[in-house]
Structure 1
Amino acid sequence: MSRIAPLEPPYAPEIQAQFDRIMRGAPPLTLFRVVAGNARAWDKFRAGSLLDGGPLSLREREIVIDRTCALARCEYEWGVHVTIFAAAARLTDEQVRATVREGAGAPCWSASEQALIAAADALHHRAALTSEEFAALSAHYDDAKILEIVLLCGFYRTVSYLANGLDLPLEASAARFPQ
Structure 2
Amino acid sequence: MVARIAPAEPPFAEGIQSSLDRVMRGRPPLRLFTTLARDPRLFQKFFAGGLLDPGNLTLRQRELVIARTTSLCKSEYEWGVHIALFAARAGIDDAQILSLACGRPQDACWTHEERLLLALCDMLHADCTIDDALWQSLASAFSDEAMLELLMLAGFYRTVSYLTNALRLPNEAGSAPLHSLRCQGG
Q: TM-score, normalised by structure 2?
A: 0.93
Percent of matched pairs sharing the same residue: 46
For 2:4 and 2:150, locate their aligned partners in 1 and report how far apart those are by CA, in whole Å. 30
Note the C-alpha offset of 1:139: 2.2
The Cα offsets for residues 127-155 of structure 1, whole Å up to 9 and x where unpaired, read as: 00000110121121111111111100000
- Please name the residue that 2:153 is paired with: 152
For 1:148 and 1:13, locate their aligned partners in 2 and report how far apart those are by CA, in whole Å. 29
For 1:14 and 1:154, locate their aligned partners in 2 and report how far apart those are by CA, in whole Å. 26
Q: Does the 8 A contact of 2:56 with 2:145 survive in 1?
A: yes
For 1:138 and 1:99, locate their aligned partners in 2 and report how far apart those are by CA, in whole Å. 22
Where has structure 1 moved over 3 Å in runs of 4 or more? none
- Please name the residue that 1:58 is paired with: 59
RMSD: 0.9
The Cα offsets for residues 67-96 of structure 1, whole Å up to 9 and x where unpaired, read as: 000000001001100011001101111111
For 2:10 and 2:43, locate their aligned partners in 1 and report how far apart those are by CA, in whole Å. 17
- Please name the residue that 1:122 is paired with: 123
- Please name the residue that 1:76 is paired with: 77
Note the C-alpha offset of 1:36: 1.2
1:96-115 correspondence to structure 2 within 5 Å: 96-115=97-116
The Cα offsets for residues 37-70 of structure 1, whole Å up to 9 and x where unpaired, read as: 1112111101100001011000000000000000
| AA matched with 1:43 | Q
| AA matched with 2:17 | Q
Note the C-alpha offset of 1:12: 3.1
| AA matched with 1:111 | H
- Please name the residue that 2:3 is paired with: 2
| AA matched with 2:70 | C
Q: Does the 8 A contact of 2:69 with 2:125 survive in 1?
A: yes
Number of aligned residue pairs: 179
1:87-98 correspondence to structure 2 within 5 Å: 87-98=88-99
- Please name the residue that 2:34 is paired with: 33
Is the partner of 1:139 in helix, strand or coil? helix
Note the C-alpha offset of 1:16: 2.0
For 1:147 and 1:12, locate their aligned partners in 2 and report how far apart those are by CA, in whole Å. 33
Task: Give unpaired runs (5+ residues) of structure 2.
Answer: none
